[in-house]
Amino acid sequence: MKIFRKLVSATLLTAIISTTAHATLIENGSFENIAGSTAIGGYGSSSSWQIYSSLPSWEASQNMEVWTNDFIVPAYDGNNVLELNAHPASAGGIFSIYQSFETVVGQEYELFFAGRKRHANSDEAFMISVAGLTDSIFNQAWGTWTEYSYSFSATSALSTLTFTSLDGGRDTTGNIFDAISVTSVPEPDSIALFLLGCVGLGFQRKSQNSVMK
């Protein structure tokens, strides 16, 4: 029985540690997974940048452009980054990528991503939107990654995170993104598990004390 209680406590503690380590609701937010996607174009080295009509977990208004192996900029996370303005630019078209995920109405979530613009002196701009949150970024930092962090409250059982290019020329150069994640704050599962773990440890201690008596 004593061994069983110890095992239960150890298992719960392991579960707490693993679930509190940022379980993002966004999949492929670092653009590392290109499996099953066939490149439909690319320039320069075949491994430096490629155009895809689709990527795992993401949808887009036009093509999606993935840079790899530190092409122009070092990745913020892993090897791949996304340039929002892909190729080719269609007349009047706006580049956007989006992904939907399950949410709980009224629950608070944190949105995180790393961004930077491609050229120092360009008019690159973009907008993010999810649930009731909307923000437009004009002329973000060049030469370094900026870490963006937002809070939002879910308004439906399915939320959609969208990145939209706003640069006036609607050309093929724009803003670059990596490490996009959405996490619930705090994560309800980890709180429940933490409380269960405390109860488990309490039982274990009580049991040890009664044996010592």
* Residue 197 sits in the site that holds Ca ion (CB under 5 A): no
Q: Which stretch binds Ca ion (CB under 5 A): 68-76, 95-103, 125-133, 138-146?
A: 68-76
Q: Rounded to the nearest whole angstrom, what is the least distance from the CB of residue 194 to Ca ion in the complex? A: 31
Q: Rounded to the nearest whole angstrom, what is the least distance from the CB of residue 170 to Ca ion in the complex? A: 7
* Residue 64 sits in the site that holds Ca ion (CB under 5 A): no
Query: What Cα–Cα distance (Å) separates residue 27 from each residue in 7, 31, 93, 126?
Result: 33, 9, 26, 21
* Residue 160 sits in the site that holds Ca ion (CB under 5 A): no
Burial of 167 (0-12, 13-18, 19+ CB in 10 A): buried
* Residue 172 sits in the site that holds Ca ion (CB under 5 A): yes
Q: Rounded to the nearest whole angstrom, what is the least distance from the CB of residue 167 to Ca ion in the complex? A: 4
Query: What Cα–Cα distance (Å) separates residue 43 from each residue in 19, 103, 165?
Result: 41, 39, 22
Residue 65 or 193: the one with the smaller Cβ distance to Ca ion is: 65
Query: What Cα–Cα distance (Å) separates residue 53 from each residue in 158, 196, 213?
Result: 24, 46, 70
Binding site for Ca ion (CB under 5 A): 30, 65, 75, 77-78, 80, 83, 85, 167, 171-174, 178
